[in-house]
Chain A
Amino acid sequence: MTILDPPAPPSGGAEPRGSATLLGRMKSWKLSPSAWVGAVMLLVFVIMGLFGPWLAPYDLSVLRDETKSAYEGASSAHWLGTDTNGRDTLSQLLWGARSALKLGVIVVAISSVIGLAVGTIAGWFRGAVDEVLMRFVDILMSFPGILLNIAIVAVVARPGDGVVILALCANGWVGYARVARGQVLALRERDFVLAAVALGASNRRVMFKHLVPNIMGPALVQITFGFGGVILVEAALSFLGLGPQTDYTWGSMLDQARTAMWNTEWFRIYVLVPGIAIIWVVLGANLLGDGLRDRLDPRHRGRR
């Protein structure tokens, strides 16, 4: 039934070409140098997160002699010193990367799928469905996000990964929904969509075959920025003592740092190490996101 296949959309820009694979398209993305810097920064973080626990010089589950080795500065045994409990800081940094990567990827995956689905449905069906879904989005947006996250996490006495993920997803999907809806509202008037409808394509087919593939560019931009955002919010929760209590996190390292400001030498290392780690990831995500947006988001193309 080749005749029912949609006509190829007009070529040009980031419009997907029928046969192009993802890799093929990646090659044709002419990203700015700063975007590549961001991509490399994120890649380093991903490697740290994947292999960190094996690279970590010390086993954090073994409690060491606390009286002897707490608050140590940098030394050849502990490159970045030790924490208030005498645990190796470098190992914590690597384990923290693992936990940040895990949470970031899972939260972004869940909230982007939910958000893109909601946005696509709202934008395609319009009317009452759109009204109800977007009112719900309005409600979630009429409130600072981190307070909602805190409210959800605080319900559990010792929050694990699951609760934190739930809390971050609870409002994390909203941004994706708005992006998807905006894109779909514009796409629905385009010839290739009208043609598909005229040929009798079902709602499902139009959404999966024609709309969703075409919003992936702006969605990817949102995913990149969103990843940095999730890392920041998760660190903020951990900093307030509300992060996953089962893992070492950069946020809880920062929380530990501020309890011992009197210990000058130690504080300097201990606030900078997790702090710079967070900056690294967030900056990487922002640089890559900016580059992707200039390239992929039609509203930003050709600007500046």
Chain B
Amino acid sequence: MSDFFSAFFDDLPQLRSGLWVTLQATVLGALLALLLSFVLGLMSVSRLLVLRGVSRVVVEFFRGTSLYIQLFWLHYAMPPLTGYELTPLLCGVVAFGLNYGAYGSEVVRGAVNSVPRAQYEAAVALNMTPLRRMRKVILPQAWVQMIPSFTNLLIQLLKCTPLLWLISAADLMTVIQQLRDRTGETLTAYMTLLVTYFVLAYALTLLMNLLERSAKRRLGLQTGAGSLLRGRSAAEAVASTAGGAR
């Protein structure tokens, strides 16, 4: 075990760059997914059949074909087919963004639909333009509802980042695998990796809880300090993943 940790501390620069790749993939992938969630989600509550139809097809396509296939397709199949080649990290960001964007759009759709009808009617009665109605009335309320589900999706996205190892992006998993190959400390190496992911997952959950708290405050809802430390709620974990599979 000491072998592993002495190698671990010798290789800190590589580890730091591996962690950086993993974090970049997570954050950039999540931002792309967030953007797509809103675009596809708002399209799916549109009054225009074309927009709803396009959104449905795109969402079902990216949810139905496995993330793993999408990533490999971008990495292996796209260059010969189109002549464009993405860097491994960018492949990851695009694949994570598309896949989780599709799942996220269902979250956006559900949250927008869950805002009480009367809110919508009041905004119409006040003669608000559709854009203003969405921005000032519907979305601020829907946003609070979305955050717990987005937290779950974000953790799932983080849990998919070791896939980068397979398309030879030098992510955290790659670096730790190299350490393991050199020291032969299989158990220690993988436990270290698992614990790192666990810590990352908890840090992200905490950040998202902070975000939820500030979003609730803006609506004037009560929030206790305890809400920060709680993990992802079980019921929400179930709802979002189950919803995701649908």
Q: Is the pairing of A and B real?
A: no
Q: Which residues of A contact B (CB under 8 A)?
A: none
